[in-house]
Each structure stands twice: as structure tokens, then as C-alpha cells.
Structure 1
Amino acid sequence: MKSLAVQRWPGPTPTPQDGIFAILIDTSGAPSPPGAASTPAPRGANAFPTPASGTGPQRDDARRQIRLAAREALAVVLRMPATDITVASAPGTPPHILLAGVKSRIGISLSHDDGYALAAINLHGPIGADIMRVQDIPDWQAVARDYLGPAIAAALQNTTNRPLAFTQAWTQREAALKCHAQQLSEWQAELTGSTISLILPAANLAGHIHIGDKTA
């Protein structure tokens, strides 16, 4: 599997491919904190060392929305009540799914950007996911060199659509880090596993998922 079509939610029952599916919800209607801007702030170069996870009522509400949507979608796939499904997480480990309070092998990864939230689910194990709005990043050369590695930095010099290529490379790296439960840090090495590009039903978004050592 080289790519995966992401489904808007609510919608039809997801059809897992090799045990994997992903849903996207629109969180732009989430209430904003007093005094907040009406449009999301861009993830510029200064934001990349600390990914735009954000805090505050709007971000918290988006997290609640996507966790609820993930439980609903998974409940339909597994044919069980959503109330029996819990999205659990602990420091240093990727999120995972509890079924009726019992830990399962099902992995889940969540990502938010530009008024959207994504949930990617792997019925067979850990998964990492990241989405990002395509944009022109100031000082992209330094960011790519420090966080994406010399090969990607060199490739970006010659691409015809650098904003898209950078976003794709960034989300690929973030997805791999999430799958391996690692924090963003300066470039060290490639991470094991398989990367799958996402076909997103929203303009100007790009993203990837990453699974373990199984060949996709």
C-alpha cells in the first residue's frame, strides 16, 4: 500500500486496507478562546522545533471531537458499541485502544491542523499520523537540514513545488516519530517501518501515516 484514501466523518462505514483506515473531521466550528484570531496561525520555521500541538479551549475541543469520531468509526468497523471503546495514552508510548477496558493491539494516531483533525487506526499495531497545511515555510533550508536530514534538504533545492514537497517530507517524518513514540529532535537517522501517503478530502492539506516493520 503506497497511499490511503482518507474518509470524511461522519460518513459510510470505513473499509480498512490491510487493517488500516483514517478519517478526517472539520473542527473549524470548534469554539475559539476569547481574543483568538479567526484563522489558524501558520506553522512557520519557529514553530517546527515545537510542533503546533497548541493549548486552550479550541484545541481541547478539537481533541475531544476527533477522539469521539474515532471511537464512533471504529465501533462501526468492529460492530460494537462506541461506549466500549476507549482511546488510551501514556507518556512515552503511542496511543492505543481499549476494548471494554482491556488493552488491544489496535493502534491509533491523531493529528490536527488548519481546522481539520485526523484519526488513523491500525487494527494490527502501532501507527503514526501527521497532517499539515501546505505553505511556504520561511527559512525552510535550515529547518530541512536540522530536522529532515541532508538527503531531503538537498532534494528540496531542486523541486518544482517546494511548499508541497516540504510539507510531504515534514509529515512523513512526524508520522514516523509518532509511530515510534519519539519526540521531535534534530536529524539522526531514518526510522524503521513503512510510510504511506494520505489522499485527503480537503484542499491544501498533505499528510502521511507510518506503521511498524510490516511491509506496506
Structure 2
Amino acid sequence: MNNMNSMQKLAVHAWPGPAPTIADGVFVIGLPTGEQREEARQQLRQAVAEALGAVLDVPPREIEIEASPGAAPVVLLPDGQRLHCSFAHDGGMSLAAVCFNGPVGVDLMLSEEVAGWEAVARDYLGPEATARIAATARAERAAVFARAWTAREAHLKWLGVGLDEWPAHSQSSGTTVTLDLPERLVGTLVYMDGAA
């Protein structure tokens, strides 16, 4: 992936909280949601409306999130503007990324041992990532795998496509950053920055 900056970490705004700061045309909010997926989706959609309402000084009830199976969610603002957004859930936490400049993808994964990780990495992450994970000390392997996996998933969400085997959709011209998250959670954001 291009423009990968693993040293740069983007802050995740805890929600509820103060209005998120938009940096480079994007912001990410995070909130504890538990493990029930449908309930987490509803909580996250409400949080996005509240956060955007705080950022744009718009009543949250006037902000809609359009989502259909197989398509990236879109935020509809009262003035007709459409913003790209992306959601992720794992480990009792949910993330939402909103981008004012174009497509966005976010992914989240609990860093834990993945059974059969070598076959999964070969099939979905490609030879470079597989070699990097294999060369990592066992104690750190889960975190390295999670970073590679979330980067791949965020990239595919940014492109608006579903999970597929390597090498399909293996290149990106988006900006890719690691998210600053609590211990054992790994997250990646891919977005179109304002300079593109």
C-alpha cells in the first residue's frame, strides 16, 4: 500500500465527549459498545450523528446515515451534502471514521493469536506481509498480524469492496495511518487527504 506511515498515529476521539477535531479532513470516534453487533451498529450511528452535530452545529436528528448491504455507509447532511464514513467493531469497542474529502476505511481488531494465521496471511495479506509476520517473535506475532489485517480491511473498505484474496485490490493511493487505541486493540485508517 502506498503512503503507509506506521510511525504516525491518529488520535481516536472518545465518545461521548467534546466535538472531535477534524485533522486532514477526517476524524475517528470510538466508544465501548459490547459484543452485540446490531446494538453496536445502532449506538455507533447515533454517536456519528451526535459527533457531526457537534462539529457542524447541526441537530443530530437532522443527520442521517444511509447504509445498505455490500455498500459503504454515507452520511446525509441537512444541506444535501454527502460524507463518506466507515465503521468497525471488535473487542467490545466500535469505531467510526468520517471523511470530508472522499472515501474512508477503518478497521479494528483485538490482538490475539489467530489459529492457522499462516494460511490466512498467504491467502489474504500477500507474500510480503506473510514473510514479515513469520519473521516476528512469537510474543509479538499477534499484534503484527492484526496491524497487517486491519490495514488490508481498511484499504478494502476505502475502495468500497468486500474482502477478497490477495492480490486483488492490493494497491492504494490513500493515506494510511495507525490509530491510537487501548492496549490489545489495533486499528488502521485509510482516507483521501485534503492534498489529493
Runs of 4+ off more than 3 Å = 90-93, 212-216
Q: CA RMSD in A?
A: 1.9
Residue 107 of structure 1: how far off its partner (Å): 1.1
Answer yes or no: is 1:72 the counterpart of 2:40: no
Which structure exhibits the higher relative contact order, with contacts defined as CA atoms closer than 8 Å and separated by 6 or more residues?
A: 2
Q: Is 1:21 matched with 2:27?
A: yes
Residue identity opposite 2:141 in structure 1 = R
Sequence identity (%): 42
Residue 96 of structure 1 deviates from its aligned partner by: 1.4
Cα distance between partner residues in 1 of 2:91 and 2:25: 27
Residue equivalent to 1:110: 87
Q: Is residue 87 of structure 1 aligned with residue 61 of structure 2?
A: no
Number of equivalences:
186
Q: Does 1:203 align with 2:180?
A: no
Cα offset, 1:213, TM superposition: 7.3
Q: Does structure 1 residue 193 correspond to structure 2 residue 174? A: yes
Residue 162 of structure 2: which of 183, 190, 194 is its match?
183
Per the normalisation by structure 2, the TM-score is 0.88
Shift of 1:134: 0.4
* CA apart distance, 1:144: 0.5
Stretch of structure 1 that moved more, 114-123 or 187-196: 187-196
Shift of 1:87: 1.0
Deviation at 1:191, TM superposition (A): 3.1
Q: Note if contact 2:101-2:194 (Cα within 8 Å) is conserved in structure 1.
A: no
Q: What secondary structure does 1:94 align onto?
A: coil
- Tell me the CA shift for residue 118 of structure 1: 0.6
Preserved CA contact (<8 Å) 2:175 2:191 = yes
The runs of 5 or more residues in structure 1 that have no matched partner are: 29-39, 41-57
Report the counterpart of residue 130 of structure 2 in structure 1: 153
Which position in structure 2 is the counterpart of 1:139?
Answer: 116
**1:62-109 C-alpha deviation (Å, 9 max, x unpaired):** 1000000011011101111111111112455421110127242x2110
Distance 1:130 1:69 in 2: 17
Q: Where do 1:33-52 residues align within 5 Å?
A: none
Match of 2:105 among 123, 128, 148: 128
How far, CA to CA, are the matches of 1:72 and 1:214 in structure 2? Answer: 24
Structure 2 unmatched ranges of 5 or more:
none
Distance in 2 between the 1:151 and 1:198 partners? Answer: 22
Distance 1:192 1:213, change over 3 A: farther
SS in 1 for 2:166: coil
2:20 corresponds to which letter in structure 1? P
